[in-house]
Amino acid sequence: MTNPSILILPGDGIGPEVMTEVEKIIAWFGEARDLKFNVETDLVGGAAYDKHGTPLADSTLEKAMNADAVLLGAVGGPAYDDLDFSVKPERGLLKLRKEMDLFSNLRPAQCFDALADFSSLKRDVVAGLDIMIVRELTSGIYFGEPRGIIKEGNERVGINTQRYTESEIERVARSAFELARRRGNKVCSMEKANVMESGILWREVVTEVHAKDYADVELSHMYADAGAMQLCRYPKQFDVIVTDNLFGDILSDAAAMLTGSLGMLPSASLGAPMENGRPKALYEPVHGSAPDITGQGKANPIACILSFAMALRYSFDEGAEADRLEAAVETVLANGARTADLIGEEGVEPLSTSAMGDAILAA
Ligand code: ATP
Ligand code: MG
């Protein structure tokens, strides 16, 4: 049997810096755990624009479509701010998501015990938190037609349309229920069925899918505004939250900050199963290209490393190996290792990006 394939797209800014640490870890799995991958690396974002004049070359897209998993660092940066909209680095990532039809965006919000006190960074976190937000990623108000800015009488009108088909709701609901079965077996679905037709349909379809195939999973519904309130008040009541593109965008950022640092947060975007049964998948840290710290060896590689742990779990069915990698991160943090973003005014000497990667490897 051939080894599963991974396409690595380091991208821009700190993307290549954090991805270097992931590459070390992938190599380690091959040697120490006999878990071998065929790894290929290519350009995306500004790096691709510099070479090809486009943020996503057709050849790269084709590789992504055929890979068992794609790992992406980050795209964008001030050097590309003045580019035409159609070739901006971010368009490369959006095109990738769109072409791969990655409809289910998994955003964990998990607080590591060793980072339960962030008071030196003037930040409150929720110790022991471990929830997952599933955001619909390819439809809803960010894509619905009609859209645009039109003239109506004497004034301009900005228009966006929230639109969801049954099948779009059903597939993301299924992915949330499947996920819940591997976690706390609980799903809370959020919409605004009190004021939006798309919300009414969302609630109906989620309820139908649940009754038909996932009755063993505990299901509840909340209006998204009440859900936002509950997420602040008592976030540990949740296990998996499933919601649409717009609400998911906001709720997942809010949930992320309950855990402390942007440098710690992974994500997965999943699509339909391929012929080999694996979902089309893209894994990336939540953070961006961080131009303010690029090239200084300061970037925290943990978000990117935990994104690879998600790949082990969701693309390669290697849950035990994902646990192993996450445990190594936990151990290193418990031993006091910190990159600069995790340090307040305590005067602890920060680790560089590569020193943090090495410490995780050693653990
Ligand atoms: P994007 O628009 O690409 O999402 P952004 O404007 O949200 O980018 P980031 O690039 O994520 O911003 O950076 C936000 C802040 O967090 C910056 O000060 C950056 O240095 C810091 N930061 C982001 N990622 C990391 C990381 N991995 N390690 C350390 N600091 C980080
Ligand atoms: Mg951002």
List pLDDT tens digits, range 290-303: 999 999 999 999 99
pLDDT at position 54: 97
User: What is the average per-residue pLDDT within 48-53?
Assistant: 97
Instruction: Please work out whether the CB of residue 299 comes within 6 Å of at least one atom of ligand 1.
Output: yes
pLDDT at 308 over 90: yes
How far apart, in Å, do the first and last CA atoms of the chain sit?
30
User: What is the average per-residue pLDDT within 117-122?
Assistant: 81
Report DSSP letters for 48-111, one per residue: HHHHHSSSS-HHHHHHHHHSSEEEEEE---GGGTTS-GGG-HHHHHHHHHHHTT--EEEEEEE-
pLDDT at position 346: 66
Contact 72, 92 (CB under 8 A): no
User: What is the average per-residue pLDDT within 228-241?
Assistant: 97
pLDDT at position 186: 98
Helices (H) and strands (E) in the chain, counts: 11, 12
As annotated, the active-site residues are 142, 192, 225, 249, 253
pLDDT at position 345: 66
Q: What is the C-alpha to C-alpha distance for residues 322 and 326, in angstroms, rounded to an integer? A: 6
Q: What is the pTM of this model?
A: 0.94
Report the chain's mean pLDDT, rounded to a whole number: 95
User: What is the average per-residue pLDDT within 171-194?
Assistant: 97
Q: Which residue has the tokens 């693309």?
A: 315
Contact 69, 316 (CB under 8 A): yes
pLDDT at 315 over 90: yes
DSSP H or E stretch at residue 177:
helix 166-181
Q: What is the C-alpha to C-alpha distance for residues 96 and 57, in angstroms, rounded to an integer? A: 10
User: What is the average per-residue pLDDT within 254-266?
Assistant: 88
> In the structure encoding, which two tokens stand for residue 74, read together?
């980050």
Global ipTM: 0.93
More confident residue, 257 or 237: 237
Least Cα distance to 293 among 3, 96, 77, 58 occurs for 77
Instruction: Please work out whether the CB of residue 292 comes within 6 Å of at least one atom of ligand 1.
Output: yes
Q: What are phi and psi of 10, to 5 degrees?
A: -65, -35
Cα 286 to ligand 2 centroid, rounded to whole Å = 8
pLDDT at position 72: 98
pLDDT at 11 over 90: yes
pLDDT at 178 over 90: yes
- Name the β-bridge partners of 72: 9
Instruction: Please work out whether the CB of residue 11 comes within 6 Å of at least one atom of ligand 1.
Output: no
More confident residue, 347 or 310: 310
Q: What is the C-alpha to C-alpha distance for residues 154 and 355, in angstroms, rounded to an integer? A: 61
- Protein residue with its CA nearest to atom 20 in ligand 1: 290
- Protein residue with its CA nearest to atom 1 in ligand 1: 288
CB count within 10 Å of CB 103 equals: 21
